[in-house]
Amino acid sequence: MALQERARPAEQLLRSPREFFRERRFATSAAAGFVVVLALAIVLAASVWYLGGLLAASTDATVTMDNPDRPPEWVCDTHGDDPDSIMAENCDEPATIERDAGSLLWEAAGEYVVPVFFFTLLVWPIGGVVLFAAARIAGGDGGFLATLGVAAWGAVPEFFRLAAGLAGLTYVLSTTTFTGPVESFPDQVLAALAPLELPLLVASMLTLLWQWYLLSAGIGEVHDLDWPAAAFAVGIPLAAWGLFGLL
């Protein structure tokens, strides 16, 4: 019985979201919403790092690049023959070195971890403002903080899309090896990911529909709107966001 009671909020969220937002006080709390969005931001950022590692493990190539330990060529040309010159230190190092392309790709992926984390957090208040404005235009009378709390639950379906994407990418990247000149890597990656286009599109559409279902219920409850008005208020900005994501 206790287990069923603990599982009831999740069941309500899935089957009767309007009831969930009506009965669960935390469901419209901006603080609880922040926890939901923070969890998504952490998981997304970690996923970028994880995919960078997968891509690195799938790469078998080297890249010729300038040696960062060697001074610029003009310094060595000017001071290279002077054994007492501090500027000429390391001029005997090779001008170029070979580096593993996979390591470079992983380093590049690591540079996106922090931006992805903060971008995810930033989308939340922007989405809250848009939903609040749309609900007010539709005749709603709810508060902004409650709207912000509802907006955060739109992150829940993103976990489904992320799981589907990671599963597909993990399978493809773990069974593919990228070789040859690095200039050909973009074409190789696109060819490897081509079979995932349709499944990921379906996952994205299901995610948007689930978000529409959840947010319409929450906005309807918070702003005292009937289903058609709430669904329209949520559907327009959500459709625009979905189209933006597909570009």
Domain locations along the chain: 2-10+17-62+101-246
- Which pTM does this prediction carry? 0.86
Q: Which two tokens stand for residue 165?
A: 């994407």
Helix, strand, coil tally for the chain in percent (to 5): 75, 5, 15
Q: 143: how many CB neighbours lie within 10 A of its CB? A: 13
Instruction: End-to-end CA distance of the chain: give it in Å, rounded.
Output: 48
Which stretches of the chain drop beneath a pLDDT of 70? 1-7, 78-88, 90, 247
Q: What pLDDT shows up at residue 83?
A: 64
State phi, psi for 171 to the nearest 5 degrees. -65, -50
